[in-house]
Chains A and B, each alone.
Chain A
Amino acid sequence: MLHEAIARPRPADAASLAAWTLAAQVVDPEIPVLTIEDLGVLRSVTVTNDAVAVTLTPTYSGCPAMDAMRDDVLEVLASAGYENVSVRLVLSPAWTTDWMSEIGKNKLREYGIAAPTGHATVRGSGPAGPIRLTLAVKCPRCSSLNTRELAHFGSTSCKSLFECRDCLEPFDYFKVL
């Protein structure tokens, strides 16, 4: 699948894939049900001789969880015996919620956070910016679509705050970016 190849560019060679599989276990410290592979934050793992080069991309420019994810990747690879590990952050191509895996979205819902709906960007050739297409947000508790946004910004950069008009509970929504 073309989309999966962009969202989760797993390396082709066995040595790199083994290191990728280890790095892919690292979770988001704020949303510990999601791995960095589910998120699409893990961008590349390359093993050459004994050196491992990992690249990650931040979800949001100022996301403070990036430092923790970087440290955790270093730790998981070091404890597996890799001695020479480097982790770099890259900004391009810019991360998008379109890269979140379906498995990740299901885990997010079970965790009580509504998963991003719709797609993030329609890129034109002109100067127009990204166009967000957001569908109705489903309550992660009672599955009602009768919900409304309380606040654009939530407990972390990636979330906004919603409430369900049927079960009356507030909930976090992982907003489309």
Chain B
Amino acid sequence: MAADAPAAAHDDDHGHVAVDVTTLDAELIEGPSVATADVAEYALWLGDDSLILAQQLGAWISRAPELEEDVALGNVALDLIGHARSLLHYAGTASGRTEDDLAYWRTEPDFRSLHIVEQPNGDFAHTIARQFVVAHYLFELYSRLRASADATLAAIAAKAVKEVDYHRDHSTQWVLRLAQGTDESRRRMITALSDLWPYVEEIFRDDPLIDRLGGVAVRPSSLLPAFDAAIAPVLAEAELEVPRGFVASGGGRTGKHSEHLAFLLAEMQVLTRAHPGASW
């Protein structure tokens, strides 16, 4: 996120702050690509999922069970931030907003992320259960989005699919280790899956926007068979059952969120809002 051309420097309650004019980041994609309103909305869906999940994973740095996990979750978060930047940059082309405008200056009703990504980090098993579901979903999504009729989305997906493949593998290894580890780790893994599963259904729900986008988007419901087929052997090896129970109401794609998102956004946005345009 380029920031040059110092515009003003002043002292405020928090000390000396240099306020720069933030310039648009360099065009990420080959060719002049401006998203239509519907394509921008779809890019916002996917970009918000990655942004919120990345913010959640960042909270584990220095708190994971071992140093290697701090590094792993930090790396996964960094990849997701990269996807979010590309997607939000593209979404912003429809309305003349930057990726930073979209990340830092919207409130929760304007976010389009799924409820699963705003579920609290919980204990390590909860975070792993969430990673397991989302990484497998994203892998199936980006595998197909590579063939999108929209060249920009196809390019972002072709890049992202290789990275989420590693995320998928990472979470799979941990599901197996926790489920087959000690009685306590197994108990926690089972609890985490059961707490999280009500939010899985929303991922594969089709919204009217999908009908309008045709070959640009991937129909969420079409991903479910591949998702089920990918997780089934892992759960079988781990001797875990797919939890059955209630389905959460969802509504993230239309801006309905739980209270979790407001707290998350407050932490993510506070610095930018306190010092608009600041850089360091």
Check if B155 sits within 8 Å of A62, measured CB to CB: no
| Contact flag A130-B161 (CB < 8 Å), given A58-B82, A60-B78, A161-B68 | yes
Check if B143 sits within 8 Å of A92, measured CB to CB: no
Q: Quick one: which of B154, B163, B170 has the most chain A CB within 10 A?
A: B163
Check if B170 sits within 8 Å of A152, measured CB to CB: yes
Check if A61 sits within 8 Å of B160, measured CB to CB: yes
Check if B143 sits within 8 Å of A91, measured CB to CB: no
How large, as a class, is the contact surface on chain A? 35 or more
Residue A88 is within 8 A (CB to CB) of chain B in the complex: yes
Q: How far is the CA of A88 from the CA of B68 in the complex (A)?
A: 34
A55, A67, A96, A151: the one contacting B71 at CB < 8 Å is A151
Chain B residues whose CB sits within 8 angstroms of the CB of A91 once the complex forms: 28-30, 86, 155-156, 158-159
Check if B82 sits within 8 Å of A63, measured CB to CB: yes
B86, B144, B154, B226: the one contacting A61 at CB < 8 Å is B86
Chain B residues whose CB sits within 8 angstroms of the CB of A61 once the complex forms: 79, 81-83, 85-86, 156, 159-160, 163
Q: 1/0 contact trace for B74-109 toward A, CB 8 Å?
A: 111011111101100000000000000000000000
Interface residues of A in 42-61 (CB under 8 A from B): 55, 58, 60-61
Check if B26 sits within 8 Å of A87, measured CB to CB: yes
| Contact flag A157-B79 (CB < 8 Å), given A90-B30, A128-B143 | yes
Chain B residues whose CB sits within 8 angstroms of the CB of A85 once the complex forms: none
Residue A70 is within 8 A (CB to CB) of chain B in the complex: yes
Check if B82 sits within 8 Å of A62, measured CB to CB: yes
Chain B residues whose CB sits within 8 angstroms of the CB of A93 once the complex forms: 158
Check if B68 sits within 8 Å of A60, measured CB to CB: no
Residue A82 is within 8 A (CB to CB) of chain B in the complex: no
B2, B78, B83, B226: the one contacting A157 at CB < 8 Å is B78
Chain B residues whose CB sits within 8 angstroms of the CB of A130 once the complex forms: 161-162, 165
Chain B residues whose CB sits within 8 angstroms of the CB of A55 once the complex forms: 30
Nearest-CB residue, chain B, relative to A57: B159
B2, B71, B76, B142: the one contacting A155 at CB < 8 Å is B71
Chain B residues whose CB sits within 8 angstroms of the CB of A94 once the complex forms: 155, 158-159, 162
Check if B81 sits within 8 Å of A92, measured CB to CB: no
Residue B27 is within 8 A (CB to CB) of chain A in the complex: yes
Check if A132 sits within 8 Å of B165, measured CB to CB: yes
Nearest-CB residue, chain B, relative to A91: B155
Residue A76 is within 8 A (CB to CB) of chain B in the complex: no
Chain A residues whose CB sits within 8 angstroms of the CB of B173 once the complex forms: 152
Check if A90 sits within 8 Å of B162, measured CB to CB: no
Check if A152 sits within 8 Å of B169, measured CB to CB: yes
| Contact flag A129-B165 (CB < 8 Å), given A89-B28, A90-B30, A153-B170 | yes
- 13 contacting pairs across A/B (C-beta < 8 A): A58-B82, A60-B163, A61-B82, A62-B78, A62-B79, A63-B78, A89-B28, A90-B28, A91-B86, A92-B155, A151-B72, A154-B71, A157-B75
Further 6 A-B residue pairs, CB within 8 A, beyond A61-B86, A90-B28: A61-B82, A64-B78, A89-B26, A91-B29, A91-B155, A130-B165
The 10 A-B pairs with the shortest beta carbon distances in the complex, nearest first, are A61-B82, A62-B82, A92-B155, A151-B68, A153-B72, A62-B78, A153-B75, A91-B155, A94-B159, A94-B158
